[in-house]
């Protein structure tokens, strides 16, 4: 059942490299203040996801994983940033977020703790496999990506970084997915890619509506709805 037991040491090492760079790119999304830089880290993260898919699919050759890598490259590295740039005004990307919940060092320390936690959580999962192989890289890294994306989402106040947080979470899930479910039906892969693009489109439309209505994309300021006395 295990697909990667024949991976050559070189490929395994390269995959480990892709995994560590993936984590670093995710740290970049967590800690960068400027929206444009944040987007660049997301593109890098997606490219590394595709790279890992190519590495896992190269020996033994799996056209399926190669196709998954290509779908990711086209959908996330090329099409998604274009879509996002088209939908949200340029001015947003040059902005720096001043008001964040945590300072950059504090965010990085929490991110580090979350990464360690991800390794601990996923260790028993990896142990269930007869031969761990690439799983011991992809599963913990993927879970870490999921947690760090969620962390980004909950501490950012701007619309686009929050969206990138969601997308980083999904990238994390996929990073684990290419190792634990390498033979997912193609229709599911295509639908997932379509889903990501639709998500970006819808959130982009919403971001624009927020921008037009309140004059900024600082969604963290939207706090009218609550039970406490307001009027």
Partner 1 sequence: MILFVLISIPLAAAALSSSSSQARFGSMISVIGAVAALALSGWVAVDVITSSKHVLVAIPGWIAIDALGALILLLIAVVNVTATLFSVGYMDFTTTGDSHRYYLNFNLFVFSMFIVPLLQEPNIVWIAVELTTLFSVLLVGFENTREALEAAWKYVVLTLMGAAIALLGFLVLYWAARQAGITHYTWAGLEAGAPQMSPVLLKAAFTLILVGFGAKVGLVPLHTWLPDAHSQAPTPVCALLSGIETTAVLYVILRLLPVMSAAPAIHANTWLLIFGLISVGTAAFLLLRVRDYKRLFAFSTVEHMGIILAAFGLGGTAAHTAAMLQIVGHTLTKSFCFYTAGSVLQMTGTRNIASVRSVIRRSPLIGVALLLGGLAIAGAPPFVLFLSEFSILRAGLNQGEYLTTGLLVFFIAIAFFAIMNHIGRMVFGSTEVGDPIRPYVLPVSSRMTLILAVVPVIVLGVYIPGPLQQLITLAAAVLGGRG
Residues that bind partner 1 (CB under 8 A): 1, 124-125, 127-129, 142-143, 146, 149-150, 153, 159, 162, 165-166, 169-170, 172-173, 176-177, 180-181, 183-185, 187-188, 191-192, 195, 198-199, 202-203, 205-206, 209-210, 213-214, 219, 222-225, 227, 229
What whole-number distance in Å separates Cα of residue 129 and Cα of residue 201? Answer: 38
Q: How many residues does the chain have?
A: 231
Helix (H, G, I), strand (E, B) or coil at 213: helix
- Cβ closest to partner 1, residue 23 vs residue 159: 159
- Cβ closest to partner 1, residue 15 vs residue 162: 162
Angle between helix 159-180 and 186-214 (nearest 10): 170
Residue 61's φ and ψ, nearest 5 degrees, are -60, 125
State the number of CA atoms in the 13 A half-sphere of 37 facing the CB: 11
- Cβ closest to partner 1, residue 61 vs residue 187: 187
What whole-number distance in Å separates Cα of residue 149 and Cα of residue 168? Answer: 5
């Amino acid at each position: 059942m295990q697909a990667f037991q024949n991976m050559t040491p070189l490929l395994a090492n390269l995959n480990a490299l892709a995994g560590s760079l993936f984590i670093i790119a995710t740290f970049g999304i967590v800690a960068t203040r400027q929206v444009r830089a944040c987007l660049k880290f997301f593109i890098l993260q997606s490219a590394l996801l595709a790279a890992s898919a190519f590495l896992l699919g190269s020996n033994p050759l799996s056209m399926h994983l190669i196709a998954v890598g290509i779908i990711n490259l086209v959908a996330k590295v090329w099409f998604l940033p274009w879509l996002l740039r088209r939908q949200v005004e340029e001015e947003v990307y040059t902005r720096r977020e001043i008001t964040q919940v945590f300072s950059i060092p504090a965010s990085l320390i929490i991110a580090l703790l979350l990464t360690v936690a991800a390794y601990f959580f996923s260790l028993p999962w990896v142990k269930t496999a007869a031969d761990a192989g690439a799983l011991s890289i992809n599963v913990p890294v993927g879970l870490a990506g999921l947690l760090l994306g969620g962390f980004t989402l909950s501490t950012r106040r701007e619309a686009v970084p929050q969206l990138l947080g969601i997308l980083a979470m999904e990238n994390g899930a996929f990073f684990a997915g290419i190792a634990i479910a390498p033979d997912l039906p193609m229709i599911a892969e295509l639908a997932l890619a379509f889903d990501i693009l639709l998500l970006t489109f819808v959130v982009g439309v919403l971001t624009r509506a927020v921008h037009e209505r309140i004059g900024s994309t600082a969604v963290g300021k939207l706090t009218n709805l609550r039970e406490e006395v307001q009027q």
